[in-house]
Copies of this chain bind each other. A is one copy, B any other.
Amino acid sequence: MDSNVNVLVVSAHAADFVWRAGGAIAKYVKHGANVSLVVLSYGVRGESNDLWNVPGQTVDNVKAVRRSELEQAAQHLGVKDIELWDFEDYHMQITEERMDRLTKKIREVKPHHIISHGPKDAFNPDHEMVSDYVFRASVLSTSNGVQLEGYPTAKQARLFGFEPHQSEISDFKPDVILDITEVYAQKEAAMNCFKAQQHLIDYYGAKAKLRGNHARRCSGNNEYKYAEAFSRFFPYVGGELV
């Protein structure tokens, strides 16, 4: 694995990066890549159902809980460069200022890989919105004519999409199945930081095994135990058949 890469992960809500790319993050960190994480919102309105069952719950408290959970999870994955942009969720709005902000972030990180939500998520409009947001900002980031003082243009990154929760009805096709066996314990530890969402811990644990099964079947390599699936926004381009 090439250790000399920059990776930018953009997560719509507090926990998306853990369920959907925790293994990829841990693996890239482990092999020396520079991984930057942007969490756009705490998911207060749309992804904190369990917390709102507590009587007297407040927005500030939900944010504090989600922040604490996600920071612990990030620690398990080894990612240190984290930004929390605290957008309101459900439904997220993208202004011009926010577009510029992400464009600058991309120009700053100069990512080889950007990992975020894929274009369709049948039950989650925020995820679709973020997918479009990341794609558009990546287009702006490479364009000479988009002049942002102090932020010279970046080279085109590879864009990867998370697997959505209900893959088939979200038209998800796995383009890349990434072996995460060597870091799966870290992903498990990170998932366990979201105690109130035991059903998701179970779900994504089972998912990692299923994708591991697919990885073995497609490759004939029986050492793959756990895997994560991603879509690709554009074709793979390079010097080998992969």
Residue positions of A touching B, CB distance < 8 A: 1-2, 24, 27, 43-53, 62, 90-91, 99, 113, 115, 122-125, 135-136, 139-140, 142-147, 155-156, 158, 160, 165-169, 172-179, 199, 202-203, 206-207, 209-210, 213-215, 217-221, 224, 227, 229-230, 233-242
Residues of B within 8 A of A147 (CB): 52
How many copies of this chain are found per oligomer?
Answer: 6
Residues of B within 8 A of A240 (CB): 1-2, 178
**Known contacts A143-B45, A167-B168, A238 near B123 by CB under 8 Å:** no
**Can you list 5 A-B pairs with a CB-CB distance of less than 8 A?**
A46-B145, A166-B217, A168-B173, A176-B238, A219-B238
Q: Are A122 and B234 in contact (CB under 8 A)?
A: yes
Bound form: Cα–Cα A215–B203 in Å: 13
Supplied contacts A53-B144, A178-B241, A218-B234, 13 more A-B pairs, CB within 8 Å:
A1-B240, A46-B143, A49-B144, A51-B145, A156-B217, A176-B238, A177-B237, A178-B239, A199-B213, A206-B206, A219-B238, A229-B235, A236-B242
